[in-house]
Structure 1
Amino acid sequence: MPDIASIAGSAGMIVNGYAFTKTDDGHVKVLNLNAPESALVLDHDGNVLETSMDDMEVGIVQEYYRNNKEFLEADHA
């Protein structure tokens, strides 16, 4: 079981219960904080690289990412 508090605390952004975290290689890891067995890895453009989510959830998360990625990429601290 992942450490939800740690993941949420280090996430670049959280949108509707999904924690988005940039990796050193430019990918974005996404974890559903309400159902941690649902995870996703996106490339910079929002294309799926790996997932344990169903197709409907993937589409929702991709839309969240594409609509909000400027907040993940910029330093808004």
Structure 2
Amino acid sequence: MPDLQKISDDADMIVCGFAYKKTNEGISVFDLNNGKGAAVFADDGTLIETSMDDIEFSIAKKHYLANAKYMEV
């Protein structure tokens, strides 16, 4: 199981149980609620890679797009 404490501590932003971190590839997001769902998407929300289902990803994307302005690194 992933280290949820480390993921949370390293996150640039946490919204509704999703931890977001800016990386060289784009934005990585991890679902802290289930400990399994992860995704990487571009700054504009375009999906690059995911292990999330469609509903989970659409929720994570919606939260990111609504709050990206607060994620200044």
Query: Does the pair score TM above 0.5?
Result: yes
Matching residue's letter, 2:48: L
Where do 5+ consecutive residues of structure 2 fail to align?
Answer: none
Q: Quick one: percent identity of the two aligned structures?
A: 40
Residue 57 of structure 1 corresponds to: 56
Residue 4 of structure 2 corresponds to: 4
Where do 5+ consecutive residues of structure 1 fail to align?
Answer: none
Distance 2:31 2:45 in 1: 16
Residue 44 of structure 2 corresponds to: 45
Matching residue's letter, 1:42: F
Distance 1:34 1:54 in 2: 14
Distance 2:61 2:54 in 1: 10
Contact 1:26 1:44 in 2 (8 A): no
Matching residue's letter, 1:37: K
For 1:40, what is the secondary structure of its paired residue? strand
Distance 1:40 1:14 in 2: 14
Q: 2:32 aligned with 1:33, yes or no?
A: yes
Residue 19 of structure 1 corresponds to: 19
Distance 1:50 1:68 in 2: 21
Distance 1:54 1:16 in 2: 17
TM-score, normalisation: structure 2: 0.92
Q: Which structure 1 residue ranges, 4+ long, deviate > 2 Å from structure 2?
A: none
- Give the CA deviation at 1:26: 5.2
Across the two proteins, how many residue pairs are aligned to each other?
73
